[in-house]
């Protein structure tokens, strides 16, 4: 597996996303933590939201950039269950990692894709590889926030393990 694929869904510089998100109840995932702007649920929803946009872009599906940052987080009354959200996010990490690893896709990693920008800014182009690298960085940032929230909730490390230093 390539390092890029490992950064997307494997055991690279941090615990795999599947470990980071395991054994969390609906209540714990949605629980607010004093001083934190978002719950674990909201962080994962945000990652799944942007991950789908990235997967759309690299598949040639032009998806509009949200008009505001708030659109990239769930509404307070979001009904999607924690388990469905967790599965949706992890399925997306598998899809992204497959794009980074599949030998048939290797040539595609250098293809240019159009990435719409917020209103009033010109659209950007980047390679599929650059878009996947951006996704890996974005997810790593938010997964780190999830780890911190789990630590604050007294729920770290997960059963499959995770760094404790």
The predicted pLDDT at position 75 comes to 95
Name which of 149, 165, 136, 128 is nearest 24 in CA terms: 149
DSSP 8-state secondary structure symbol assigned to residue 103: G
What angle do helix axes 40-58 and 128-152 make, rounded to 10 degrees? 170
The predicted pLDDT at position 2 comes to 87
**Read out DSSP for 116-132?**
--STTS--EEEEHHHHH
Query: Is 112 exposed, middle or buried (CB count within 10 Å of its CB: 0-12, 13-18, 19+)?
Result: exposed
pLDDT in tens, the chain (165 residues): 789 999 999 888 889 999 999 999 999 999 999 999 999 999 999 999 999 999 999 999 988 898 888 999 999 999 999 999 999 999 999 999 999 986 665 678 999 999 888 888 898 899 999 999 999 999 999 999 999 999 999 999 999 987 776
The predicted pLDDT at position 95 comes to 96
The predicted pLDDT at position 14 comes to 85
The predicted pLDDT at position 104 comes to 62
pTM here? 0.94
The predicted pLDDT at position 165 comes to 64
The predicted pLDDT at position 78 comes to 96
The predicted pLDDT at position 106 comes to 62
Please check whether residue 101 is in contact with residue 5, taking contact to mean a CB–CB distance below 8 angstroms.
Answer: yes
| Neighbouring C-beta atoms of residue 34, cutoff 10 Å | 5
Topology of the domain covering 3-152: 1.20.120
> How many residues appear in the chain?
165
What are the boundaries of each domain within the chain? 3-152
């Amino acid at each position: 597996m390539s390092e890029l694929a490992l950064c997307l869904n494997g055991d690279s510089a941090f615990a795999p996303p599947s470990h980071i998100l395991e054994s969390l109840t609906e209540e714990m995932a949605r629980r607010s933590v004093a001083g934190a702007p978002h719950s674990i649920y909201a962080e994962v929803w945000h990652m799944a939201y942007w991950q789908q946009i990235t997967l759309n872009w690299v598949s040639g599906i032009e998806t509009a950039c949200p008009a505001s940052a708030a659109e990239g987080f769930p509404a307070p009354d979001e009904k999607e269950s924690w388990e469905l959200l967790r599965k949706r996010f992890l399925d997306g990490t598998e899809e992204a990692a497959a794009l980074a690893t599949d030998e048939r896709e290797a040539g595609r990693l250098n293809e240019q894709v159009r990435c719409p920008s917020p209103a009033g800014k010109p659209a950007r182009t980047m390679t599929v590889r650059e878009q996947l690298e951006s996704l890996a960085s974005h997810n790593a940032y938010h997964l780190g926030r999830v780890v911190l929230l789990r630590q604050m909730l007294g729920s770290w490390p997960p059963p499959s393990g995770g760094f404790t230093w």
